[in-house]
């Protein structure tokens, strides 16, 4: 997605990767546009919609990447760990994420003992 986002910046001013919870996982811009992000209610379901509104009212163009999930809470980290356990090929698709989570949860298991 990152390489594709850079390619899109040849045609638009900003690239956003929206998340299912109303935020975004990626922001790309050709130039600094602080007015778009100032006063945004971060960690709310309105982040993406307010950002898109500000982009539009500033006369800028935007490309939106596919919607994805993100991780904001430890409960969501646990859910991702369960997905790794239930979907074996996910380990091969995201090996670094799997290794990081494996370390986190092995430490937590040791502390429980």
pLDDT tens by residue, the chain, 113 residues: 799 999 999 999 999 999 999 999 999 999 999 999 999 999 899 999 999 999 999 999 999 999 999 998 999 999 999 999 999 899 999 999 999 999 999 888 777 76
Counting the structural domains of the chain, the total is 2
Residues 19, 48, single domain; the answer is yes
Residues 60, 10, single domain; the answer is yes
Pairing type for strands 62-64 and 24-29 reads unpaired
Structure-derived torsion over alpha carbons of residues 77, 22, 66, 84, reported in degrees to the nearest 10: 10
Is residue 69 included in any domain, yes or no? no
Question: Whole-prediction pTM value?
Answer: 0.78
Using alpha carbons only, what angle is made at residue 53 by residues 47 and 58, rounded to the nearest 5 degrees?
Answer: 125
pLDDT for 107 equals 85
pLDDT for 113 equals 60
Which residue range forms the structural domain that includes residue 39?
2-64
Residues 52, 92, single domain; the answer is no
Distance CA 105, CA 74 (A): 11
């Amino acid at each position: 997605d990152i390489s594709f986002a850079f390619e899109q910046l040849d045609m638009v001013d900003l690239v956003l990767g929206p998340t299912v919870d109303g935020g975004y996982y990626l922001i790309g811009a050709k130039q600094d546009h602080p007015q778009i992000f100032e006063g945004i209610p971060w960690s709310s379901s309105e982040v993406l919609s307010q950002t898109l509104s500000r982009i539009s009212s500033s006369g800028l163009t935007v490309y939106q990447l596919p919607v994805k999930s993100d991780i904001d809470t430890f409960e969501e980290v646990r859910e991702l760990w369960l997905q790794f356990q239930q979907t074996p090929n996910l380990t091969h698709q995201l090996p670094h994420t799997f290794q990081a989570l494996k370390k986190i949860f092995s430490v937590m298991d040791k502390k429980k003992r």
